[in-house]
Structure formats: C-alpha cells, structure tokens
Amino acid sequence: MITVWTAVFYICYFLFSIISFSNITAALAISGLLSALSTFGVLTVLIKKKISESYALMMLILSLSADIGINMIIPNSGTDTNPLLHYYAGINIALLGTALGGGILISGIIRKPSYLIPITAAAGLADIWSVSVGVTRKVVQSKTAMNFLLFSFPVAGKGIRPIIGVTDFIFAVLFLSLSHRFNFPIMRTQVAVAASFIVSISVAVFGGFGVPVLPLMGGFFIMGQYPHVKISDPQEKRDALRGILIIAAALTAVTLIKHIS
C-alpha cells in the first residue's frame, strides 16, 4: 500500500507537469484532496495490522530520524538530474511513519472511551489557537519548518507544495486505532475523518483562509460515535469541563502575553 501511495505521488507529479489548469484554485483543491484522502486511505489499511506499542515506538523514532535526516540534506533547488520530488517522497514516507507510530502510542494512553470527548475538545482548541496565533502560524511562514511537518504533493502549474500537517494524520490514526480497540463502527470513523479533510481543504482553498482540521475531525467523530463515547458519570463530566476550561484559559493567557510582549 505504501508503494502504491508513493506511486500516486510520482504519477501526479508527471501528469501535473503536462496538464495545466486555468484556475489555480481547482488545481489546489484537486491536489489537496488527493493528498489527504490517499494518505488517510493508506493509514486506514495499515492500522488494521494491529501494530504493538513497542513496534510503534521504534517506528516513530526511525521515522522522525529519517524526516530530520532528509531535511538536513535536501538541496535548495532541484535539477533534471537531481529532482526534489525524490526528497519530498522520502519526507512523506517518514511523516507517514510518524503519524502511524505517534497515533498508536497516544491511543495506548486512553483507557476509557469517555476520555475522548475532553481530549478531542482540548485538541480542537489547541489547533484553533495554533492556526490563529501559535505554532502552525509560524510554521507556514517558514519553508524549512513546513518541510519537516507537512506532507507535500504536486500541484499543477505550481510544482510540489506543502499540503497538510502530520498532526492531523496522527489524530486520524488515533481515532482509527481506538475505534478498532473499543469496537466502534469503523465506517463511521472513516467517514468522519474523510469528511473533515474534505470540508477543511475545500473551505481553505475556495474560501482563501486556513481552517484547522482537528476541530472538524473531532466534532464529526464525536457526533458519529456519541453513543459509545458519551460521559455518564457526573464527576467525570465536571472533571472534563474543568480540564477544557483550564486549557482554554492557558491558551488565552499565552495569547495575551504574546500581544503584550
């Protein structure tokens, strides 16, 4: 599956070198959706292999090392004899391993399905903050940082462009892994995650502004799996709300400090 996924990357590179779109928005939308959905498809297949946490840890370490190593040697520009697409293909594979290993390791920490609501809410808040004023905003302003953290994909008329962050796929793996472990309806999870990518990429491309994926992904997932993840214990509800409010307050405080300084 990884071989097929990588082949799609190369095929699209050569096709998009020949095909031109009069509307760059359409080209970006096609590439964004192809990249996100094909990557999610590969992860959906790989997660069925029941990878152990020790193997996931080894995979994560090796993938992060490969990502850093390739980025350290990637040249500033490519030529016909040294095309950058080979480097980007390698980075993509390293990020795929990072998403798979990272998602499985995080899923191992979650012992009860009801933990998913506060964790998803906290992740969504953090992602909104990151895209608006935090880490993600800084990353997209640096080409070097984008190469480390974002999957890249060919765009007709624009070469290879960073498309979507590895964090979104870590959570996609998290939701898939937990759905298998807790026997949630897998199709609901797959539809929820795929829909979050389709909506966020479409809005970002056609609306012209960045949309955090995790709030949509988490919201769709919770709606689809609510009977399985709902919090019944009153004390657990209070603890979950308290934790979400603390995270929201912390992010607000960091933002105010950044503006003051």
Q: Are 172 and 193 in contact (CB under 8 A)?
A: yes
Residue 23 main-chain phi, psi, to 5 deg: -110, 110
User: What is the C-alpha to C-alpha distance for residues 43 and 1, in angstroms, rounded to an integer?
Assistant: 9
User: What is the C-alpha to C-alpha distance for residues 66 and 83, in angstroms, rounded to an integer?
Assistant: 19
Structure token digits, residue 131: 């895209």
Spell out the residues 6+ positions from residue 215 whose beta carbon is closer than 8 angstroms to its own: 124, 125, 127, 128
The number of folded domains in the chain is 1
Residues shown for the chain = 261
User: Is pLDDT of 128 > 90?
Assistant: no
User: What is the C-alpha to C-alpha distance for residues 70 and 130, in angstroms, rounded to an integer?
Assistant: 26
Q: What mean pLDDT is predicted for residues 121-138?
A: 70
pLDDT of amino acid 254: 53
Q: What is the pTM of this model?
A: 0.87
User: Is pLDDT of 80 > 70?
Assistant: no
Going by the DSSP 8-state scheme, the letter that residue 156 receives in this structure is T
Percent of the chain with pLDDT strictly greater than 90: 42
Give 160's strand partners: 154
User: What is the C-alpha to C-alpha distance for residues 250 and 205, in angstroms, rounded to an integer?
Assistant: 31
90-122 pLDDT tens trace = 999 999 999 999 999 998 888 888 888 888 888
pLDDT of amino acid 52: 87
Least confident of 24-38, 169-183, 196-210, 242-256: 242-256
Range of the domain at 226: 2-260
28-50 pLDDT tens trace = 889 999 999 999 999 999 998 88
Residue 151 main-chain phi, psi, to 5 deg: -70, 140
